[in-house]
Structure 1
Amino acid sequence: MLRTAALDGQLTDLLGQVGVVVFYLVVWGLVFAGTALFVGVFVPFVTGDSLLFASGIIAAGASGVDIWVLAIGTGIAAFLGDQVGFLLGRRYGRPYLDKRGGPRMQGVIARTERFYRTFGWWSVVIARFIPWGRVFVPVIAGVGRMGYARFVTANIVGALAWGVGITVIGYYAASIPGVKVLAYVIAGVFITASVIAGIRAWRLERADRAASAQADVSSAQ
């Protein structure tokens, strides 16, 4: 909360100095850079939840700042940032690992593939609410050759729930005390859904392995 208040003050000062348009661009640029340029690794606080929440609060009290322009632009910036991370991972990550071909690198590739077989689509969505996750998961998804269409749909849902959702929650939090809890409810829903999906995927994978083992035994006989 103290961090959010401090960032709120900094953004308010920024808005007063540079105006509404530049304020939009700074918020959107930070959200984009947080994943696309790995800035979130070094300064997760100023590219993550607190930034979105504080910008929403400012929009509620500042004249000229349209909450929907701010929130939709934030969602688009979040979406584009993850797209860049995914494409970089797909273009450079996996070929780089394949060329090395050592057991350690192959182990990383195998673990990445198992991660997506377990959590799949939901892993991209819930990563939005995890500081390190939203930086690395898009790249790992690209490295792990996650289907592009699957990634895009998960990215859209994550960008809406996180980028648009938390910004709008911040806006209403200025007039409705305690509404910030909704941000954690949203995160909890997605995390719970991901756990259920992961358990289901794990059971299916175990069943497939058992069936394959049985088939091998039968063919050997």
Structure 2
Amino acid sequence: MTTDLALLPGWLDATNIISGLGSWAVVGIMLILFAECGLLIGFFLPGDTLLFIAGLSVSTGLIRTDLWLLIVLMVIAAFVGNMVGYGIGRKVGPAVFKRPDAKFLKPEYIEKSNQFFEKHGKIAVVLARFVPVVRTVATVMAGASKMDAKLYTLYSFIGGVLWCGSVAVAGFYLGKIQFVRDHVDLLVLLAVVAVVLATAAPALIHWLQKRKAKQAGRQAPPAL
């Protein structure tokens, strides 16, 4: 079984990773999820595809463990990774962002992140799980912007359960369909795009309504 889109080099292909690790596949999956969810250097790792292929590998017998146990272990890895990333952001983030020579990590980014998490914190933490790169960066930014630790812990756990559970279960059942098995990368990519669009839609609608209201205000005749 191979995936059909060359989105990543062979050594980062989820199928190659799982088959190559053999009996250590579950440990490898947990380490990758931990790195992607908690360490900025892990942003390029194939988390979504890996979860899907992991579920599929259980159904085919390549991974010899119960699906529920695999999901529990993956949730733990993703959750611990997120908490480490949050801790890194909370501890190191402010100092890094306050550096005068910072070109990309500017102080105003923390302020904007703080405002964002105050307004959309709960749903943002959950939905960030489903968006590559964002799930890696968001956890550090949540820590740097001092998002409430209890809230972050709760919704990070909820997001981890939903992310690992839904994608792995989808892989377990949908992976039995030959078309799905032959086009895993494409289908995962489309699913990610759908999540991004669904997440961005409310903000886009709000922006369009606000813009329309401003234009209407400009066109209104002056009061006599």
Instruction: With the length of structure 1 as denominator, give the TM-score of the two structures.
Output: 0.71
CA contact (8 A) 1:56 1:167 kept: yes
- Uncovered stretches (5+) of structure 2, i.e. residues with no partner: 207-224
- Counterpart for residue 59 of structure 1: 58
How far 1:183 sits from its partner (Å)? 10
How far 1:119 sits from its partner (Å)? 1.9
- Counterpart for residue 133 of structure 2: 132
Q: Please give the per-residue CA displacement for 1:183-205, whole angstroms capped at 9, x wherever unaligned.
A: 977996797578659989xxxxx
Q: Please give the per-residue CA displacement for 1:144-191, whole angstroms capped at 9, x wherever unaligned.
A: 110011101110111011112211211112335788879977996797
Q: Are 1:84 and 2:74 an aligned pair?
A: no
Aligned mates of 1:101, 1:183 — CA distance in 2: 36
How far 1:58 sits from its partner (Å)? 0.7
Aligned mates of 1:129, 1:26 — CA distance in 2: 20
- Counterpart for residue 38 of structure 1: 40
Read off the aligned partner of 1:61 and give its amino acid letter: T
Q: Please give the per-residue CA displacement for 1:102-154, whole angstroms capped at 9, x wherever unaligned.
A: 9x833222211222233221111111111110110000000111001110111
- Counterpart for residue 141 of structure 1: 142
Q: CA 1:3/1:38 → structure 2, altered by over 3 Å: closer, same or farther?
A: farther
Q: CA 1:189/1:99 → structure 2, altered by over 3 Å: closer, same or farther?
A: closer
Q: CA 1:189/1:101 → structure 2, altered by over 3 Å: closer, same or farther?
A: closer
Q: Are 1:7 and 2:8 an aligned pair?
A: no
Aligned mates of 1:82, 1:144 — CA distance in 2: 15
CA contact (8 A) 2:131 2:195 kept: no
Aligned mates of 2:14, 2:192 — CA distance in 1: 22
Q: CA 1:101/1:39 → structure 2, altered by over 3 Å: closer, same or farther?
A: closer
CA contact (8 A) 1:169 1:182 kept: no
Aligned mates of 1:97, 1:124 — CA distance in 2: 21
Root-mean-square deviation (CA), in Å?
Answer: 3.4
Read off the aligned partner of 1:59 and give its amino acid letter: V
CA contact (8 A) 1:86 1:139 kept: yes
Secondary structure of residue in 2 paired with 1:129: coil
Q: CA 1:96/1:14 → structure 2, altered by over 3 Å: closer, same or farther?
A: closer
Q: Please give the per-residue CA displacement for 1:8-45, whole angstroms capped at 9, x wherever unaligned.
A: 25423432xxx2xx21101111110112232432x332
Give the 5 Å matches for 1:179-198: 192=198
Aligned mates of 1:91, 1:127 — CA distance in 2: 21
CA contact (8 A) 1:124 1:151 kept: yes
- Counterpart for residue 155 of structure 1: 156
Instruction: With the length of structure 2 as denominator, give the TM-score of the two structures.
Output: 0.70
CA contact (8 A) 2:130 2:195 kept: no
How many pairs were matched up? Answer: 192
- Counterpart for residue 107 of structure 1: 108
Q: CA 1:71/1:65 → structure 2, altered by over 3 Å: closer, same or farther?
A: same
CA contact (8 A) 2:131 2:196 kept: no
Pick which of 77-86 and 190-199 moved more. 190-199
- Uncovered stretches (5+) of structure 1, i.e. residues with no partner: 201-221
Q: Percent identity?
A: 25
- Counterpart for residue 26 of structure 2: 24
Secondary structure of residue in 2 paired with 1:120: helix
Secondary structure of residue in 1 paired with 2:106: helix
Aligned mates of 1:8, 1:144 — CA distance in 2: 37
Q: CA 1:3/1:53 → structure 2, altered by over 3 Å: closer, same or farther?
A: farther
Q: CA 1:106/1:144 → structure 2, altered by over 3 Å: closer, same or farther?
A: same
How far 1:84 sits from its partner (Å)? 0.4
